Amino acid sequence: MLDHQKPSIGRIVHYVSYGTPGGEYPKACRAAIVTQVLPEDPEHKDFVVGLCVMNPTGFFLNPEIEYGEGEETDEDNDLCDHMDYPGGSWHWPARV
């Protein structure tokens, strides 16, 4: 299953940017390159990675980002498969 593929350095994944609380900016999927993969940890069901996130207006680096599972939602959004993902998490890009 693609979702449980082990991430490796240099792979491209999605990072979910936080939207603004007032909803002026919704959450968005951003392209990100895996910069490190933390050792497997029983507390996390999926891998924790470091990412270089490529926002349209600049780069953002974070050494420790948790995997975020997509959840069904009725809300309209532009995230992968119109699922809801936690802000500040990563996932594999959906096939389109």
Per-residue buried b or exposed e for 46-63, using 16+ beta carbons within 10 Å of the residue's own CB: bbbbbbebeeeeeeeeee
Question: What minimum distance in Å lies between the beta carbon of 80 and Zn ion?
Answer: 3
When asked if residue 14 is in the footprint of Zn ion (CB under 5 A), the reply is yes
Around Cβ 79, how many Cβ atoms within 10 Å? 19
Closer to Zn ion at the Cβ: 41 or 73?
Answer: 73
The DSSP code sequence of 34-85 is EEEEPPP-TT-SS--EEEEEEETTEEEEEEEE-B---B--SS---SGGG-B-
Closer to Zn ion at the Cβ: 14 or 49?
Answer: 14
Contact code string over 26-65 relative to Zn ion, x by CB under 5 A: ---x------------------------------------
Question: What minimum distance in Å lies between the beta carbon of 42 and Zn ion?
Answer: 26
When asked if residue 80 is in the footprint of Zn ion (CB under 5 A), the reply is yes
Interaction site with Zn ion (CB under 5 A): 14, 29, 80
